[in-house]
């Protein structure tokens, strides 16, 4: 079975083709970073308009790369939510229209499910059940992944997601959008122990997260000091260390609580090197194994959509209706 995947939930147009026998055939990405950079964040209307411009040319390019003609495709998978409504609608409309024109199946995919499953594309891959830490721009959660479609959320963010905290703190430090990678880069130049920020909600063995206070702590720390470049780097270091420590602590508790030995890390913040090193060390101490998708499969991409679509279609799961419907809000544990 050969599936075309379309991801347009936010500021990345991601297209890929996955084949059940041959694996991933092609994967292309267009990032809107330059478009949104002057505004310091994603402008939803601009995102939708840009997806309209880029999706079809990128599909053509991906088909060529995969040496695939439309009549070799069995289905189209697209991100149906959660995400920006206009951006989602672009992907859904194009997917539904092409599926109708090419007389093939289509299926709407849950964005977080596709993030969680993409680690199965890598070698070595985890086996069900496993624990997953999903850390993206919009979500932070720890879930027990029992099998395809069966996700038990053990803890989640009560306010800002980890990626959002990175982005907002980066802004406070005067870094350019997108803030997360910029802050991580600056943190590499920082000295340990110059500053210390709280590890939120770690007094008790609770698996929920709250990162919004961290940004406020950074703001308060900044007020009385002269912010030169070395100090900025020290603050970035301490902020990243606080987020990483908190995430690692909670993952350790969740592994102890569930008795699971495999941890999958997913979502954009999963590309963070400090987090990767700390989780690798933690799982080594615990005698478990951690699985990271390659960094460009941590951030939004088409491969995860094509792959999740393939897995669902294998189970005869698809949407026969012609209705173009997306879900900007969609809870992960609503899936089955
Ligand atoms: O999963 P993703 O691409 O999009 C969402 O579904 O949200 O995640 C984007 C988030 C952004 O907040 C971005 O700043 C953050 O992931 N991010 C990082 C890094 N790379 C991306 N945060 C910290 N360190 C990184 N290296
Ligand atoms: Zn995402």
State how beta strands 262-266 and 130-135 pair: parallel
Evaluate if residue 314 carries a pLDDT over 90.
Answer: yes
Mutational test site, ligand 1, from 14, 163, 170, 214, max ligand atoms within 8 Å of CB: 163
Q: What is the mean pLDDT of residues 100-121?
A: 97
Question: If you ran DSSP here, which 8-state letter would residue 209 be given?
Answer: B
Q: Could you report the per-residue pLDDT of 37-69, keeping only the tens digit for each?
A: 999 999 999 999 999 999 999 999 999 999 999
Rounded distance from Cα 279 to ligand 2 centre (Å): 20
Nearest CA to ligand 1 atom 13: 180
Portion of the chain with pLDDT greater than 90, in percent: 96
List, in sequence order, the alpha helices (H) in the chain. Answer: 33-36, 44-65, 85-102, 111-117, 162-172, 179-187, 212-222, 229-258, 273-286, 295-298, 303-314
- Distance, in Å, from the CA atom of 312 to the CA atom of 106, rounded to the nearest integer, reads 11
Q: What is the mean pLDDT of residues 321-334?
A: 94
Rounded distance from Cα 137 to ligand 2 centre (Å): 7
Evaluate if residue 320 carries a pLDDT over 90.
Answer: no
- Distance, in Å, from the CA atom of 24 to the CA atom of 303, rounded to the nearest integer, reads 7
Output b/e per residue, 122-139; b: 16+ Cβ within 10 A: eeeebeeebbbbbbbbbb
- Distance, in Å, from the CA atom of 163 to the CA atom of 177, rounded to the nearest integer, reads 12
Rounded distance from Cα 211 to ligand 2 centre (Å): 18
Ligand number with the minimum distance to the CA of 163: 1
Residue pair 243/165 in contact by the 8 Å Cβ criterion = yes
Q: Which residues line ligand 1 (CB under 6 A)?
A: 10, 136-138, 163, 166-167, 178-181, 184, 267-269, 271-272, 299-300
Mutational test site, ligand 1, from 166, 179, 247, max ligand atoms within 8 Å of CB: 166
Residue pair 314/147 in contact by the 8 Å Cβ criterion = no
Which is nearest to 201 in space by CA: 160, 149, 147, 259? 160
Atom of ligand 1 nearest to the CA of 170: 14
Ligand number with the minimum distance to the CA of 266: 1
Atom of ligand 1 nearest to the CA of 180: 14
- Surrounding ion ligand 2 within 5 Å at CB are 136, 300
Which is nearest to 170 in space by CA: 181, 157, 162, 161? 181
Q: Could you report the per-residue pLDDT of 236-280, keeping only the tens digit for each?
A: 999 999 999 999 999 999 999 999 999 999 999 999 999 999 999
The residue assigned the tokens 């989602």 is 88
């Amino acid at each position: 079975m050969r599936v075309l995947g379309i991801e347009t939930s936010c500021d990345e147009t991601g297209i890929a083709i996955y084949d059940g026998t041959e694996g991933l055939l092609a994967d292309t990405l267009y990032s809107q970073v330059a478009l949104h950079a002057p505004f310091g964040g994603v402008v939803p209307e601009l995102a939708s308009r840009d997806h309209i411009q880029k999706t079809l040319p990128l599909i053509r390019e991906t088909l060529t790369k995969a040496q695939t003609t439309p009549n070799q495709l069995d289905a189209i998978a697209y991100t149906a939510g959660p995400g920006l409504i206009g951006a989602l609608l672009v992907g859904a409309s194009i997917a539904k229209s092409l599926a109708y024109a090419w007389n093939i199946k289509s299926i709407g995919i849950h964005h977080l499910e596709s993030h969680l499953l993409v680690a199965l594309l890598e070698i070595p891959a985890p086996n069900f059940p496993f624990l997953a830490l999903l850390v993206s721009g919009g979500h932070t959660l720890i879930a027990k992944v029992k099998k395809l479609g069966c996700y038990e959320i053990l803890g989640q963010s009560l306010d800002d997601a980890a990626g959002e905290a990175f982005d907002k703190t980066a802004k406070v430090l005067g870094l350019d959008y997108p803030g997360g990678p910029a802050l991580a880069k600056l943190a590499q130049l920082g000295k340990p122990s110059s500053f210390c920020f709280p590890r939120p909600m770690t007094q008790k063995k609770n698996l929920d997260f709250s990162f919004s206070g961290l940004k406020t702590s950074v703001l308060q720390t900044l007020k009385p000091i002269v912010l030169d470049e070395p100090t900025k780097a020290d603050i970035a270091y301490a902020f990243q260390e606080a987020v990483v420590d908190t995430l690692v602590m909670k993952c350790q508790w969740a592994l102890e609580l569930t008795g699971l030995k495999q941890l999958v890390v997913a979502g954009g913040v999963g590309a963070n090197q400090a987090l990767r090193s700390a989780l690798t060390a933690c799982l080594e101490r615990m005698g478990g194994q951690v699985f990271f998708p390659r960094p460009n499969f941590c951030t939004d991409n088409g491969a995860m959509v094509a792959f999740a679509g393939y897995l669902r279609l294998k189970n005869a799961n698809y949407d026969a209706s012609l209705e173009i419907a997306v879900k900007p809000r969609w809870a992960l544990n609503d899936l089955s």
